[in-house]
Structure 1
Amino acid sequence: MAAPQLAFAALLCALLGACATLSEPTGVAPSYAEAADAEQLYAQGELDQSAAAFLQLAQAHHGDEAAHYRLRAAEALRERGDLDGAARALGDVKRRRLHGNEPLRLDLLDAEIALKHGDIAQAQALLTVPDSDVPQNLRVRALELRARADLASGDAFASARARAALDRYLAGADREQNRKQLTDALAAMNANALKTRIETLPAGDPLRPWVEQALRDKGQTLARELPRPSHPVGTMQPGANGAMQAEGYTSLKHVALLLPLNAQLAAVSQSIRDGFLSAYFADTTGRRPDVRIYDSGKTPADAIAAYNAAVADGADHVVGPLQRESVGELFHQSLSARVLALNHPDTGEVPPPGSAEFGLLPDAEGAQVAEHMRERGIARAAIIAADTEWADRAARAFRAQFEAGGGSVVGETRLRDKDVNYSTSITQATASLGSGADGGVFISMRPQQARLLLPQLKIANAAASVFATSHVYAGDNNTSLDRDLDGLEFCDAPWLFGPVPGRPDRNQVSSQFASASGVGARLFAFGMDAYALLPYMDWLLAHPDAYVNGATGELTADSFGRIHRVVGWARFRNGVALPADGALSAAPMQQ
């Protein structure tokens, strides 16, 4: 075994408590003093002496007892890194002589010995036991061996899947090394192979987020399983004491809000903070938690320090951090307080159990626009997007979702920020669109570009309906400029266009907080929703059909702890953004 593998194996075994609590098999006489001494030597790390003592016991006993002591000697030598010595210690131990979990321990040891000698088929044959049949204290080792055997056999995907299952049991350096091996295995596969293999995974398979990230790293995007929640949280019902209580509601005690307060992100943080506190003071349940705000700084290390300070001050729930890199780093830690992160990390990992991540993602909006257009009967689409990273993400998500639903993308182009004449780009994207009612144009760009684009689309006789992500709306009405956007339909936070039950009225708060106006309005709504999610996190994570009626949309959670939004829809009329067809609901409109 290579030195790094030996080190990793030693760390994994240490995680299992050095196997010191393994019980003797049924039928073995009460522990002799010699056996207790041998176990004590093992626990103290005196592995050579422990193995020698166990071998002496094996020679002094017969049958089941001798098999037990030979296995313990072999385990001591394996822990020392001497697999050849372990094989010699086992000798011809028979499985029928072993009891309890000893046969499985023998299989794991034999599999590791087989891997060392390159007998991959034998190792895989010994590792076929289902995870559910492996005791918790042996599962880490079994998964790690399976991952190594699958990789050695050439099945990188199966190896990554074992490591994705292993991830939940590890922490610190062990988890970091396991994740590197997982991502390296997926990176070695081509995009087509990844797309084919991910189709075989159940919706809740822990490998799925890692494959999605590996495909994004290769410039590929998968269609999403869009949320369709049906059961609102908070339904009043009798509690255990007969009093009425909101279904799914859990009272909170101490909440920390982690936001970067440096100049670069001060405006963003202010809108989120003001929205969070606005929802806090509007909370009429009478069970508001204590809230403290911490500066999460500029770096992941700053965010970890802020988290630790919050926990030291008694926080049991932490909202934040905001930066992607900081979220990813926080998810690497052993979390004693549960987290609602305000972004999604770009590295593929999902929140630890009991925590969640929440963000306003352009990818999610692009996918929902695609679904919305298909529901409107649009089968052919042209894509026109800004030449930016976020717009490209939205465009790729749109294409993947639209095509997965049976639609056809007939043309695509990007608009550079300094361009003002879009005639060539329009021709490139829409030349094959035609004039049928089943055609539409998807755009992802800021208002300034959209105000230039739409009149030029009309001049080019591209008369198809136009749909956009929320980025096309500046957050406040500017009638004189936005008349050029008339007819454009876009997804956005319902709170921007009308009242949302349980949330402060926008017209009222925007007169008090400048952060609730303009481009900050969406972030203000985001902050309100972060507060609204906290008491229902447990319920949402356990009930994928449940949702919180939020300011940014209907909020629901998947099995990985990711909060999803079902967005609302608006359309420009006479330069004013209004709910599409008068609807304030976030539910998709039907044709």
Structure 2
Amino acid sequence: MATQYQRDSVTRLLCTLVLSSILMACGTGLRAPQEAPPPAPDIFSLIDRPADQYQALAERAPEPDAFNWRVLAIRSALQQGDAATAGQQLEVLRRQASPQQQSILGVLEAALALTQNNPAGALQQLATVDRTRLSRGGEIYYLQLQANALELQQQPLEAAKVLIERQELLSGDERETNRGHIHHLLQSLSPQSLRQAQGPGNTDLANGWFRLMAILNSDNLQPGQRQWQLQSWRTAYPDHPGQAYVVGTPAEPVVTSAYQPAHIAVLLPLSGRLAEQADAIRNGILSAHQGQTSRLSFFDTNGRAMNSLYQQVQQAGADFILGPLLKEEVDALTELDPAMPVLALNVPAYQPGLPHLYYFALSPEAEAAEAARHMWDQGHRQPLVFAPNNELGRRVATEFGQRWQQQSGRPAILAYFAGQSSIESDVRRALASAGSPPPAAAGVIQPLGDGGWTGAPGPIDSVFMVTNATETRVILPYFDFVRDSRAARLPTYVTSRSYIPDDDAPMSELNGLQLADMPWIFDGAPQLRQEVDALWPNAGITWQRLFAFGYDALTLIPQLSQLREGAPPVPALTGELTASPQGVLQRRLQWMEYRNGEWLPGGQ
């Protein structure tokens, strides 16, 4: 009995232990930790699940993945229009985010403001975000939010500009979608507003969009004019995404070889305050036109709206435009996107680079750029620019400085003089500027450079004076007086504004002065010179220069496209002429040296 009882007890105990072990094993299984979630994707990747699923993943993930999942949860809530949930989760994230994550939170704050229909708040929030801290995906998201906010504020042009910037960051289907949105936004704008939107402050991509949509949105274009404009656009922007919207237009480029116009429309201010200058240009054009079979028609631009003037040119049957003369008139004509070649007689700030647009000007800035090139070729390495403290002086000095920096990698020293009474002290300051920092006021030194004043790399070895003839006569002797009289004069260079006629009394103090001017002034083309002197015996030096300008403008028309393609320089009255890829004609001037009342050939 006892033995059987003991046996039964042992059996029950073993069963209890086995059951207990099973229960413990089951209990252990229930309490086992869940498997960790996969690594979080990029926080600005495509949202493909509800916010609560992202949040659940965040609860199970270690940092920094947990932060990424929370951001995705907030974006998902925003995408679902659940601003309340997104706001609550964002508040939690604010307390947990590190300083490095603040830019991301700023973008989320902007997205929340957009969901709450507060585009102004979104833009204000985006303005505080440091975009350099964002990933490529973050920048794409940032720009989309910015564009959406601007569109909600009824600013389609500004929204399109943002999307155009965004286009460069995208690939695949996203690029196509973004491109379609740009087209949709710009489709709502008038051709005039799109033309006015173009300018040097935009990228080529943006200017290409604005010009294309100005053409496509114009309802009053003749078929031939529209086709010309679109072909010209396709030639100028061969890889532009907007090519998708001109599929029906022939892809042949605008014919630009050897212009041989039958009817040239010349746009000049033949009346008003510039009538005398226009008359000199007109006479130069007429002289160059002798013996040609083409027809010339002159149109007075004074007081005329360019739109109506261009219509008159079209009605007259012209196939080439020469002019206009003023920068604002050139801008107005460019905005119209004329359906014929144009050689404008000025260079505006923005040149769209279209294959049938060219620009020619006699500008002081161009002469300053030529002086910088020449002085570098002469072996000078630290020039001093001495200019009057006025708008023209600063503009020309700055152009010289920029060109010098580009070709030498070194800053030029820019010094400004205030007036004749302070010339001596201004010259002393200028010559002492190589080792001292510049004051900021007029009449003192102001070097050009991105990194602030670091002192000139070496001693001043040459001078470029932005002066007229009278100022040159007064100032040049001071450079000799201030420096050691036993030292050789610093090589000094001036431009055409300092020209002194050969028949003036010799001034020995100017000996050695080097001047750049057009060959025409130094008895170039002697036969033509005799004809001009006979017809206009009392013409002054300014009239003579403008005559040569008009003469060259007409003569160059058949050679424009070849020059743009890199043909050798063309010798002309105004200088040796080449053209930039943007169609800007550039002059290489003739350098002469003053010796006892005469201008003699200088170093070339």
Residue 290 of structure 1, CA deviation: 0.8
Residues 98-497 of structure 1 aligned to structure 2 (within 5 Å): 116=148, 127-128=170-171, 141=183, 160-171=203-214, 249-281=258-290, 283=291, 287-298=292-303, 301-346=304-349, 348-350=350-352, 352-406=354-408, 411-416=413-418, 419-432=420-433, 439-461=461-483, 463-473=489-499, 476-480=501-505, 483-497=508-522
Alpha-carbon distance in structure 2 between the residues aligned to 1:442 and 1:552: 21
Deviations 1:248-298 (A, max 9, x none): 6442211111111234112211211111111112x5xxx431112111104
SS class of match (1:384)? strand
Whole-angstrom CA distance in 1 between matches of 2:163 and 2:563: 43
CA distance in 2, matches of 1:271, 1:442: 30
- Is 1:552 matched with 2:574? yes
Cα displacement string for residues 42-82 of structure 1 (whole angstroms, at most 9, x for unaligned residues): xxxxxxxxxxxxxxxxxxxxxxxxxxxxxxxxxxxxxxxxx
**How does 1:44-123 map onto structure 2 within 5 Å?**
116=148
What percent identity do the matched residue pairs reach? Answer: 28
Query: Who is 1:527 aligned against?
Result: 550
Distance 1:579 1:516, change over 3 A: farther
Residue identity opposite 1:538 in structure 2:
S
Structure 1 residues 159, 279: CA separation in 2 closer, same or farther (over 3 Å shift)?
closer
Q: Indicate the SS of the match to 2:289.
A: helix
More deviation, 402-411/368-377: 402-411
Question: CA 1:507 to 1:205, structure 2 compared with 1: closer, same or farther past 3 Å?
Answer: farther
* Alpha-carbon distance, 1:310 to partner: 2.3
Q: Are the counterparts in 1 of residues 404 and 412 from structure 2 also a CA contact under 8 Å?
A: no
Describe how 1:511-526 pairs up with structure 2 within 5 A: 511-514=534-537, 517-526=540-549
Q: CA 1:336 to 1:401, structure 2 compared with 1: closer, same or farther past 3 Å? A: closer
Letter in 2 for 1:419: Q
Conserved 8 A contact 1:571-1:580: yes
Matching residue's letter, 1:342? L
**Aligned equivalents of 2:375, 2:476: Cα separation in 1:** 18
SS of the residue 1:519 aligns to: helix
SS of 1:506's partner is helix
Change (3 A) 1:509 1:490: same
Task: Check whether the contact 1:544–1:557 (CA below 8 A) recurs between aligned residues.
Answer: yes
- Per the TM alignment, residue 407 of structure 1 is displaced from its structure 2 partner at its CA by 6.7
- Per-residue deviation, 1:415: 3.0
Which amino acid is the alignment partner of residue 578 of structure 1? L
1:406 Cα offset (Å):
3.0
Gaps (5+ residues) in structure 2?
1-142, 151-161, 188-199, 219-235, 239-255, 436-457
Q: Is the 8 A contact 2:383 2:462 kept in 1?
A: yes
The residue that corresponds to 1:65 in the other structure is: none
Q: Distance in 1 between the 2:385 and 2:168 partners?
A: 50
AA matched with 1:472: S
Structure 2 residue matching 1:314: 3-state secondary structure: coil
Q: 1:297-349 CA distances to partner (integer Å, 9 max, x unpaired)?
A: 04xx4344333322211111111111111111110003123211100123x24
SS at match of 2:420: coil
Given that 1:489 and 1:580 are in contact with CA atoms closer than 8 Å, whether structure 2 keeps it comes out as yes
> In the superposition, relative to structure 1, how do residues 466 and 166 fare at CA in structure 2: closer, same or farther (>3 Å)?
same
Q: Report the count of equivalent residues.
A: 378
Kept in 2: contact 1:369–1:467 (CA 8 A) = yes
Given that 1:548 and 1:555 are in contact with CA atoms closer than 8 Å, whether structure 2 keeps it comes out as: yes
Give 1:580 shift.
1.9
1:568 aligned residue:
590
For 1:54, the equivalent position in structure 2 comes to: none
State the match for 2:560 in structure 1: 537
Supply the distance in 1 between the matched residues of 2:465 and 2:536 (Cα, whole angstroms). 31
- The one-letter code of the counterpart of 2:582 is F
Change (3 A) 1:337 1:460: same
Cα distance change on mapping 1:539 and 1:415 into 2, 3 Å: same
Amino acid at match of 1:254: H
Structure-1 separation of matches of 2:163 and 2:334: 34
Match of 1:241 in 2: none
* Cα distance in structure 2, aligned partners of 1:373 and 1:564: 17
Structure 1 distance, partners of 2:167, 2:300, is 50
**In the superposition, relative to structure 1, how do residues 161 and 505 fare at CA in structure 2: closer, same or farther (>3 Å)?**
closer
Return the offset for 1:392. Answer: 1.9
CA displacement 1:458-503 (0-9 Å, x = unmatched): 22227201011222115x3343165443211122111211334xx9
Q: Distance in 1 between matches of 2:213 and 2:531?
A: 48
- Give how far 1:447 is off: 0.6
Q: Distance in 2 between matches of 1:442 and 1:291?
A: 41
> Shift of the alpha carbon at 1:139?
11
Give TM-score scaled by structure 2 length: 0.55
Flag the 1:508–1:457 CA change in 2: closer, same or farther, 3 A.
farther
Amino acid at match of 1:518: I
Question: TM-score if structure 1 supplies the norm length?
Answer: 0.56
With over 3 angstroms needed to count, the CA separation of the structure-2 counterparts of 1:414 and 1:254, relative to structure 1, is: same
**Deviations 1:75-116 (Å, cap 9, x if unpaired)?**
xxxxxxxxxxxxxxxxxxxxxxxxxxxxxxxxxxxx999964
Contact kept? 2:434, 2:460, Cα under 8 Å: no
| Displacement of 1:545 | 3.5
1:506 aligned residue (508, 512, 529): 529
Partner in structure 2 of residue 214 of structure 1: none
- Do 1:493 and 1:552's aligned partners in 2 also have CA atoms closer than 8 Å? yes
Deviation of 1:351 after TM superposition, in Å, equals 5.8
Shift in alpha-carbon separation, 1:144–1:510, aligned structure 2, 3 A: same
Alignment partners' CA distance in 2, 1:460 and 1:467: 18
User: Residue 270 of structure 2 aligns to which amino acid in structure 1?
Assistant: L
Shift of 1:173: 11
